[in-house]
């Protein structure tokens, strides 16, 4: 018989046939790192994969000796994480391209090219991407490139720890306040050496779930792959695997092998053994919103454009005059009150007192006298509101003060109207809750800032037995495995779609913002004081 302890199989009976479908890191053993070595004073601590924080990966100083070694030890795949970068200390001469030493090579995918296994690669030169292939037989030294992205521990475990190697990471952001249960020292901001502890993922002939076997289980096994009909085993698929299927293969019927955790609908309905219809895959728009509060942690949400509640505007805060210029629009005049005093070093420009009110006009240039010399600087033209008149004034664009918006607009807006008529970020509060859902999580939040519109990947699903409604489930934030059933879909047209507001964790929030912004140029910085 099979015994289970803490979710892992602890004993396998003699003669049991299992099909190994993968290896997965179960947990990480961490040691504090000094000069790329384990500190003499560091005790080893066990970190679960959901341990909070964001980390930067330190490039491995040990080279790989061939392209084949890289493909065997490093995760290369279709998702955002599966494109590792390497460089060679020597030139690599190909038929129609020479890769220069030190040039960053991105490994995109592994496939057969003219009967030979090769890696599809790319280099970027003068903002132009050049594609080429490297055969697995290509030898030479290949070093990891520095990686400026940030990752959760779970992402590092799944994608950034090569097989048979450790990984050094640097803590980038703790995200949570330290408490006594934290295994790391208080205020720790150094490097950790992570040693993975693996588990084997397998399926068994008469079970419909995925079996997890710790890699240190003391059991002898024999490879019978060549003499056994492996088609009799179930084939587990992750949501990413399902999303990779062609659109022609949808709709499909599947049975859940491992369901997601969470009490929020529909996740609480997706339990092991449940049959579902997966109608289609697609990209959908969400508005990323955060709770407005001065202390942390803030709550974060992904709101569908179909949200049926209504919003009223809330005042925005602006730390500099430069932010006023970014926020102003042709649609309405921006009215603000100063919350911080500012003494102008130039007599040509205005000094601000707390409580001064302004109507923001436009950006322009102005000549000022600075240390006996005339200089032209960027300024913000405004009208100061006096008790019985308006006074034209100029504020230096570099001015660090503080302003809060005065709202005259009392209208209630749908989410789609806000996205169409105003520039994000935009502050609101719910004035009419969404009555189409049992509990509107946004209604209890005193204030929200809509930060940006994002596009994400979703699958549309419903239950097979009572398909009264269909649900959108996120592909990259839901840990769930299914296997496909050879059943016909009773109705190809999905029932009415229920879109929900998704509350996401602090780590997921940083990940969403990172993916959305990684191809964008950073915003221009405010002008500096003249020198």
Q: What pLDDT shows up at residue 57? A: 92
Same-domain check for residues 153 and 230:
yes
Q: How far apart are CA 526 and CA 329, in angstroms?
A: 18
Quote the domain boundaries for residue 321: 317-405
Q: What pLDDT shows up at residue 288? A: 95
Q: How far apart are CA 286 and CA 298, in angstroms?
A: 19
* Residue bearing tokens 């006023």: 324
Single pTM value for the model: 0.66
Q: Contact, 276 vs 519, CB < 8 A?
A: no
Domain-embedded: residue 519: no
Q: Compute how many other C-beta atoms are within 10 angstroms of the C-beta atom of residue 234.
A: 21
Q: How far apart are CA 290 and CA 504, in angstroms?
A: 10
Q: What pLDDT shows up at residue 119? A: 92
- Token duo for residue 526: 């405010």
Domain-embedded: residue 116: yes
Same-domain check for residues 152 and 132:
no
Q: Contact, 256 vs 242, CB < 8 A?
A: no
The dihedral region occupied by 529, where left means phi > 0, alpha psi between -120 and 50, and beta the remainder, is: beta
Same-domain check for residues 156 and 290:
no
The CATH number for 333's domain is 2.30.30.40
Rounded alpha-carbon distances, angstroms, from residue 132 to 96, 107, 118, 140: 9, 10, 10, 17
Domain-embedded: residue 268: no
Report the number of distinct structural domains present in the chain. 4
pLDDT digits (tens, 9 = 90+) for 457-499: 999 999 887 778 889 999 988 888 898 888 887 777 888 888 8
Same-domain check for residues 334 and 396:
yes
Same-domain check for residues 218 and 363:
no
Q: How far apart are CA 98 and CA 113, in angstroms?
A: 19
Looking at every residue in the chain, the average pLDDT score rounds to 83
Same-domain check for residues 107 and 222:
no
Domain-embedded: residue 475: no
Strand partners, 123: 130
End residue of a domain, out of 145, 175, 192: 145
Domain-embedded: residue 127: yes
For residue 159, is pLDDT > 90?
Answer: no
Residue 449 DSSP SS3: strand
End residue of a domain, out of 387, 422, 454: 454
- Token duo for residue 266: 């529909």
CB within 8 A of 531, min separation 6: which ones?
Answer: none
Domain-embedded: residue 109: yes
Q: What pLDDT shows up at residue 122? A: 92
Same-domain check for residues 310 and 326:
no
Which of 64, 61, 62 has its CA nearest to residue 140? 64
């Amino acid at each position: 018989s099979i015994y289970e302890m803490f979710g892992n199989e602890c004993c396998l009976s003699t003669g049991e046939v299992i099909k190994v479908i993968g290896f997965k890191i179960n947990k990480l053993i961490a040691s504090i790192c000094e000069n790329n070595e384990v500190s003499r004073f560091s005790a080893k601590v066990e970190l679960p994969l959901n341990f909070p924080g964001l980390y930067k990966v330190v490039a491995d100083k040990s080279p790989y000796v061939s392209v084949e070694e890289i493909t065997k030890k490093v995760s290369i795949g279709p998702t955002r994480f599966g494109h590792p970068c390497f460089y060679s200390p020597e030139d690599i001469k190909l038929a129609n391209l020479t890769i220069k030493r030190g040039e960053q090579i991105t490994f995109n995918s592994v496939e057969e090219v003219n009967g030979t296994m090769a890696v599809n690669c790319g280099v970027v030169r003068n903002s132009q991407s050049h594609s080429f292939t490297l055969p697995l037989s290509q030898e030479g030294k290949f070093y990891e490139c520095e990686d400026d992205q940030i990752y959760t521990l779970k992402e590092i475990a799944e994608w950034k720890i090569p097989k048979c190697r450790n990984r050094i990471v640097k803590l980038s952001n703790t995200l949570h306040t330290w408490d006594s249960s934290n295994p790391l020292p208080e205020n720790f901001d150094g490097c950790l050496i992570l040693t993975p502890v693996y588990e084997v993922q397998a399926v068994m002939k008469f079970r419909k779930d995925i079996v997890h076997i710790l890699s240190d289980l003391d059991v002898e096994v024999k490879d019978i792959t060549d003499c056994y009909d492996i088609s009799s085993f179930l084939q587990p698929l992750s949501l990413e695997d399902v999303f990779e299927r062609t659109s022609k293969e949808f709709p499909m019927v599947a049975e859940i092998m491992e369901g997601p955790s969470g009490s929020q609908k529909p996740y609480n309905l997706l339990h092991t053994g449940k049959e579902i219809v997966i109608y289609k895959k697609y990209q959908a728009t969400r508005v990323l919103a955060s709770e407005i509060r001065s202390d942390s942690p803030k709550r974060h949400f992904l709101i569908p454009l179909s949200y049926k509640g209504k919003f009223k505007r809330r005042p925005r805060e602006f730390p500099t005059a430069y932010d006023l210029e970014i926020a102003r629009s042709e649609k309405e005049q921006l009215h603000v009150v100063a919350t911080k005093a500012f003494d102008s070093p130039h007599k040509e420009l205005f000094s601000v007192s707390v409580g001064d009110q302004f109507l923001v006009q436009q950006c322009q240039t102005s000549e000022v006298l600075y240390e006996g010399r005339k200089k032209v600087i960027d300024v913000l033209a405004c009208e100061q509101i006096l008790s019985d008149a308006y006074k034209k004034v100029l504020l230096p664009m570099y001015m660090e003060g503080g302003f809060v918006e005065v709202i005259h607009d009392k209208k209630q807006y749908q989410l789609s109207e806000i996205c169409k008529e105003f520039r994000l970020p935009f502050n609101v509060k719910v004035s009419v809750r969404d009555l189409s859902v049992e509990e509107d999580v946004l209604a209890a939040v005193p204030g929200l800032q809509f930060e940006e519109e994002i596009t994400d990947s979703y699958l549309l699903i419903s239950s097979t037995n009572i398909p009264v409604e269909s649900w959108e489930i996120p592909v990259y934030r839901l840990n769930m495995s299914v296997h496909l059933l050879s059943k016909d879909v009773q109705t190809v047209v999905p029932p009415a779609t229920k879109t929900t507001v998704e509350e996401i964790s602090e780590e997921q929030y940083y990940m969403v913002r990172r993916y959305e912004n990684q191809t964008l140029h950073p915003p221009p910085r405010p002008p500096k004081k003249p020198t």
